[in-house]
Amino acid sequence: MKLYKKILIVLFLLVIFVYICNITLMPNNLILIQGEILDLKTIYGITVGRKQDGKVLQASSNLNKNKVNDTGKIEVSLNLFGNIPVKKMDVNVIPKSKVVPVGKAIGMKLYTEGVLVVGMSEINGKKPYENSGIQEGDAIIEINNEQIENTNDLIETVNKSNGTTVEVKYKRNEQTITTSIEPAKVNENEYKLGLWVRDAAAGVGTMTFYEPSSGMFAALGHGIADIDTSELINIESGELTTTNILSIVKGQKGTPGEIRGTIENSESLGSIYKNTSFGVYGKVQSKNKLDINNMEEMDVALRDEIKTGKAQILCELENGKTEKYDVEIKKLYLNNNENNKSMVIKITDEKLIEKTGGIIQGMSGAPIIQNGKFIGAVTHVLVNDPTVGYGVFADIMIKQLKEVV
């Protein structure tokens, strides 16, 4: 009998744990596009109530099949067994927007917040950083209460210490950490921390879309990572520039191809505000120089409007020449909000295969169009088959953009 009671208690605690996990994992804030399905994946016993302007709009045990057609701020409450409120969520339902799928090759310059640690090395047999806790991918933002904006700032501040211990403030993800390092002497009046750092990065990619109503743009469909650490670069600012395509390296099985080009140092075309796992976002300042005035504006497709089958991508492989190429949507991952692999696409256009071998580096961000609507962007290529790759859903990129606006 005692064993039976213990089993019941364990099962009861397990059920409570499952409920707590389900509630805790629900986001506090959510952005939806008008007409999109509210997908909260609640478990049995948790009901969902929606309020707007103090009025209950809907209450259900499962809202997974319900579309949200009202725009504006909505309060969503999770209730245990219909009566006990356990969590509140703020949902911002944004109107459907129109965008211009662009597909043009662009240059991007990113400037880090502070300086990014990309490596470590001994200084005259010493490791000044050894017990500091600093790792590759961390961003140093202050030394001895002096702001560090670039590598020159770091060098000057460390040299001013004359070898005495310095207080270093750095960021890892969203956390700010303070530590101490005693610099190692290299020469007279020259000291080092033993850290390799970088304060900027640059690359070539494809602009996905431009939103006329806000002047904002999205590119790549994935983030820009540091070449040494593979960590997503935490940026303070960035510039959008023109690029000059020099050549195309054709992709082959096991060897990705690439668009080779140079970033022009002419007038900046816009500002970059955000570098995320789902793309790079910012504002266009010189629309005429981008030559997008005569491009077609399209509706953004919601996920339930996207189908497997024929589609097209838009990209620039020769300077000033943006073309559409045929692709096939092979598979859709409609419930995937975790990464930028929302769909599997296959290049079917013989002209594109002849020219590039399939998807190549630099084509990331190429907009995908189906039935006259913008449905997503190219993000990755399969190394073993360059004709096959992944794309990210349009609604994910739109929501990322709205967090910037």
Q: Active-site residue numbers? A: 222, 349, 364
Please answer whether residues 243 and 362 qualify as being in contact, where contact means their C-beta atoms are separated by less than 8 angstroms.
no
Helix (H) or strand (E) holding 102: none
Cα 200 to Cα 151, 285, 333, 402: the distances in Å are: 10, 21, 35, 26
SS3 82: coil
Task: Find out whether 120 and 136 touch, Cβ atoms under 8 Å.
Answer: yes
Longest dimension (CA), the chain: 82
Coil, strand, or helix at residue 154?
Answer: helix
Kindly give, in sequence order, each residue whose CB lies less than 8 Å from that of residue 333, ignoring residues fewer than 6 positions away.
341, 342, 343
- Distance between CA 214 and CA 228 in Å, rounded? 35
H/E run at residue 356: helix 350-356
Q: Six-digit token pair at 369?
A: 């169009």
Cα of 361 vs its chain's centroid, Å: 17
DSSP state of 28: S
Give the residue carrying structure tokens 């969203």.
Answer: 174
Contacts of 298 by beta carbon, 8 Å cutoff, 6+ apart: 98, 99, 100, 101, 369, 372, 373, 374
| Tokens 């211009």 sit on residue | 100
Whether 360 and 313 have beta carbons less than 8 Å apart is answered as no
CA–CA separation, 241 vs 218, rounded Å? 14
DSSP string across 204-264: EEEEEEEETTTTEEEESSS--B-TTT-PBP-EEEEEEE-EEEEEEEPPBTTB--EEEEEE-
